[in-house]
Structure formats: structure tokens, C-alpha cells
Amino acid sequence: MSFLHYWRAMSGIVGRELWRFVTQRERFISALVRPLVWLFVFAAGFRAALGLAISPPYETYILYEVYITPGLCGMIQLFNGMQSSLSMVYDREMGSMRTLLVCPLQRWFLLLSKLLAGTAVSVLQVYVFLAIASLYDIHVPLKGYWMVLPALLLSGLMLGALGLLLSSFIKQLENFAGVMNFVIFPMFFMSTALYPLWKIKESSALLYNLAQYNPFSQAVELTRFALYGQFNLHACLYTLGSFIVCMTIAIIGYNPSKGMMMKKKGGESSNS
């Protein structure tokens, strides 16, 4: 198997996902509506209630809308990662996942390609969101727009890998509601997406610890600093580490000899 084979396969998987996304107008719009509602409605309402002190990377007092923007970028990627995972479970139930798994490439490579495809879609969504936010007077330094790209790639990969990991353990599509309740919402609310850590510490030490060690918080902070042209090493290493852990478990989960595929007989076939 040559390098060209891998390249063509990865291009095929990523290209297909991007094509599907841009041609499915409803999916494109609905992916943007959620963070925009948070920005225009929730953040506007909270502006008066929440006072924010100056803290890095901000050098001056900021509006709550400005604070929440990196968190909403993370929200887009979190939901996108979970949607990719949902589509993997759906594909597996419908059987189309098999087409991918029977091609002559290593499974880890196929999963990584799927992950990159999902991440590419989420990065595209974030840039469209940032463009709309700039029309709402939420500006970041110009260099922040390109410096945020590697941060978005890493956080997208980490959240996508988390989705992959979950999809390798979810037996049926119906179980996905549980993921919403037990993974997405706790991850989002127990993070620095909506409020800074010091603010959380004021109300609960436990919540503070949970938010601090939540990988989603670190992904949001990585994005926040990058948007203002700064590099947050701690957040980067934490996000990278979380990505490696999630991806490794997901690969094991999809391994035919060690993973969960064996236990998913019910979802795969009806006439064993």
C-alpha cells in the first residue's frame, strides 16, 4: 500500500464529508443557529448580570459577548464531534460503515480520516460563525483569525475523537439521547465556555475542579488565547493529551479483536 493510496483515501473521505456538508443547506444553517442564539440572546441577557474582571488573554474590560465567543466556537466543535459520532452509530446500524471498514487500509487510518473530515467541517462552521460575530461587533485581532486555525484543528480533533470513542461504545442509535444528557451538556456547562474559572471558584470548589480538568475547558482556552494571538502551552498540551487518550481508546473500540464491535451483533445483523 503506497503513500499515494493513503493520500487518495483520505482525500476521498474528507472531500465527501465537506461536499455533503456544503450541499446540505439545512445542516449548514442549523449548525450556525445554535451558537448564534446563544450569542444574540443568552449573552445579551447575561451582559448586565455578569461582571468580568480583566484576565488574560484580555487586556481590557470586555463585554460578555466577547468572552463567550471562544466558548461558542468550542460549542460548535463539541456538537459537531457528537454529530459525527451520531452519524457513525447511524452508519453502523444502517450497514454503510461496513463499506469503509472492508477497504484495504488500517482501521486506525480510516478512523483518523473520518475524524479529520469531521474536524474540517467544524472548522468551516467556526469561521462562518466568527464572520457573523464580526458583523455583531465582536472583533478579534486580524492575526487571531489565522492563529486560531491550528487551535481549532486540535480542539476539533480532540472533540471528534471523544465522539468516536463514544460511538464505539454506543450500541444503538436510541442510546444517543443519553450522550446528550451525560456528556455534551455537563461538558459544556462545567467548562470555561460560559464563565471564567475564577468566577466558578467563587461559587463552588468542586465545580471549579471539574471545570479545570474538563478537556473541553482546555480546548476553549486554547482557542481563546489563539484568537488574541497568544499561545497557551498548558491548554495545548492538555488538549493534545486528551486527543491521544480518546483516539487510542476509540481505535481499540473499533478493533475487531479487542473492541466493542463483537458486542454489537444486534446492531449489525438480524440473521446471524
Quick one: 21 or 188, whose CB is closer to other proteins? 21
Q: How many residues bind other proteins (CB under 8 A)?
A: 39
Smallest separation (angstroms) from other proteins to the CB of 91: 9
Q: Distance from first CA to last CA of the chain, Å, rounded?
A: 33
Among 1, 37, 205, 206, binds other proteins (CB under 8 A): 1
Quick one: 60 or 271, whose CB is closer to other proteins? 271
What is the C-alpha separation between 190 and 61, in angstroms, rounded?
Answer: 24
Smallest separation (angstroms) from other proteins to the CB of 45: 38
Distances (CA, A) of 82 to 77, 87, 196: 8, 9, 24
Residue 29, interface with other proteins (CB under 8 A)? no
- Give the x-and-dash track for 244-263 against other proteins (CB under 8 A): -----------xxx---xx-
C-alpha dihedral sign at 228, 39, 211, 218: negative
**In degrees rounded to 5, what are phi and psi of residue 222?**
-60, -45
Residue carrying C-alpha cell 471562544: 70
Among 22, 24, 29, 206, binds other proteins (CB under 8 A): 24
Distances (CA, A) of 173 to 89, 92, 188: 6, 9, 22
Quick one: 50 or 120, whose CB is closer to other proteins? 120
Quick one: 13 or 86, whose CB is closer to other proteins? 13
Distances (CA, A) of 146 to 62, 123, 141: 22, 12, 10
Nearest to residue 86, comparing CAs of 19, 215, 175? 175
Residues 96-115 that bind other proteins (CB under 8 A): 96, 98-106
AA letter at 192: T
Question: Residue 137: which region, alpha, beta or left (left: phi > 0; alpha: psi -120 to 50)?
Answer: left
Smallest separation (angstroms) from other proteins to the CB of 1: 6
Among 22, 23, 150, 176, binds other proteins (CB under 8 A): 23
Smallest separation (angstroms) from other proteins to the CB of 90: 12
Among 12, 141, 150, 186, binds other proteins (CB under 8 A): 12
- In the complex, the residues that contact other proteins under the rule CB under 8 A are 1-2, 4-6, 8-9, 11-13, 15-16, 19-20, 23-24, 94-96, 98-106, 255-257, 261-262, 265, 268-272
